[in-house]
Structure formats: structure tokens, C-alpha cells
Amino acid sequence: MNMASHQKIHPHNLSSSAHDDQHLDFESPQVPTVPLVPRGSSKSDDSHHCPPFQRTIPVIHTKPPRKRRSCCCRFLCWTLSLVFLLILLVGAAAGILYLVFQPKLPKYSIDRLQITQFNLTSNSSLTATFDVTITARNPNKKVGVYYEGGSHISVWYTGTSLCQGSLPRFYQGHRNTTVLDVVLSGQTDDANTLITSLQQQQQQTGIIPLNLRVIQPVRIKLGEFKLMKVKFRVRCRLDVDNLAANNAINIRNSSCKFRFTI
């Protein structure tokens, strides 16, 4: 009896214990203790393992722009160097020529002005003829001047051209003074206002201001070399007492400015 009572199995307790074991298995799953990869081996040993995905990134090449930039910089440096060298050579040549020839600007003056015609016609046109004596001086010892054709000389009063003409062609040697007699003539239409202005100017101030302008193509001769053609531009201010025809014209004041252009 006692042995049977001790060996009696309680089904309620067994079922409860099994249920508890199932409950425990559900709530806390067992962590496997055996490694997925055997020791001494690696993942690459698996021949069926797929290689990782590799993304190709485009490479941006920056060397060609640097080469172009470098070429441009070198070209610019060479160009600036050549220009600078050319300026130095021109300056050195000009300095040597200046020291050798010691050039000086020519001088001009208006010595005499005579009016042979200054008439107002019936149709209000002014006809004028001036005889002008111009003195040109070349003070240079080693520089000559060729006065070429195509010159133009004119006399103006307050923006109105009264007469025009030209200078003759000639060569002016070293330390030479040349006196030129030039005839200028011209006609001005609708000159009534001009004549009135001239009369008022003479009555109020006693002088009549005139401007004489000269444009003369020339070639400079340095020793045996003839240089390129340039233009002499001369402007002279004349103050005369009257503009009466066939009358003595007194030049009260005169001054000339000279410059040359290519």
C-alpha cells in the first residue's frame, strides 16, 4: 500500500508542469549556443555566398583644365614679357636718337598780313583775299624737314572760316629760316551778321581777333634717314586793328602753338 501510494502519478501535476514548460519556451526563446559558422572557417569559404553589391562612382578628371589654365598663363606671361621688352627697346632707341640728334621743335611766326579784298556782294556773300607772310625756323643741327604736299591753311573769326590756302612743298635744312608768302582766299555766304559782328568788335575793343590754322604733312630727316610722314599742326592767334581792304593792317599781338600727330 505504501509503495503504491508513493508511485501514484498525479496527472494534474504533470499536465501543469508540461504547460509551464511550454509557456516558458514561448516567452523566452533559447539562444543557440552553436556558432552559425564553424570555427576555423570564414564566410568567404562558402562557395554559394553572393558577392556584395559594388556601386561604380564616376571619376571627375581635373587635370586637363589645369593644363589649359597653365598654357593660358604661360602664353599671357610670354606676351606681357615680349610687350615689355619691345617697350624697353623702343625707349632705348628713342633715347639714343635723342642724345645723338638732340631734336628741337620748329618755330613759326606771322610777320605780315595784307588784305587785298574784303567785300560784301549784293547777295550778302563776303569775298576775302589775304596775303600772309609766315616765317618757319628750323633750329636743329642734325635734323631736316621735308614739307610735303596736301597742306591746309585757313583764317577764322569766331568759328567762321574767312579764307583758305596751302603751303608750297620744300625742304628745310639744318638751322634754316624760310619765309613764305601765302595767298588765302574764300567766300562766306549770308555774311550780314558776320560783318555786323566785326564792326561792333572793332568799335568796342579796337582789335579784331583772328585764328590762323595750319595742317602740314612733313617727313623728318635724321642724318641720312627719312622717317615716316607726320603732321604739323600750328595754331596762331592774331589781334589786328582792322580788316579794311588795301589798308595797312597792324598786328597788335601774335602767338603760335605747335604740335605734331601721326
List of domains in the chain: 107-261 (2.60.40)
Pairing mode, if any, of strands 143-147 and 208-222?
A: antiparallel
Q: Is the pLDDT reported for residue 17 higher than 80?
A: no
Q: Is the pLDDT reported for residue 89 higher than 60?
A: yes
CB 157 within 8 Å of CB 208: yes
- In the chain, what percentage of residues exceed pLDDT 90? 55
pLDDT at position 18: 45
The Cβ of residue 115 has, within 10 Å, a number of other Cβ atoms equal to: 20
User: Mean pLDDT throughout 164-170?
Assistant: 96
- In the chain, what percentage of residues exceed pLDDT 70? 74
Instruction: Encode pLDDT of 42-84 as tens digits.
Output: 554 445 555 565 666 665 655 555 556 677 888 888 899 999 9
Instruction: Encode pLDDT of 217-243 as tens digits.
Output: 999 998 888 888 999 999 999 999 999
Q: Which residues contact 175 (CB under 8 A, 6 or more apart)?
A: 138, 139, 140, 141
CB 227 within 8 Å of CB 220: yes
pLDDT at position 75: 83
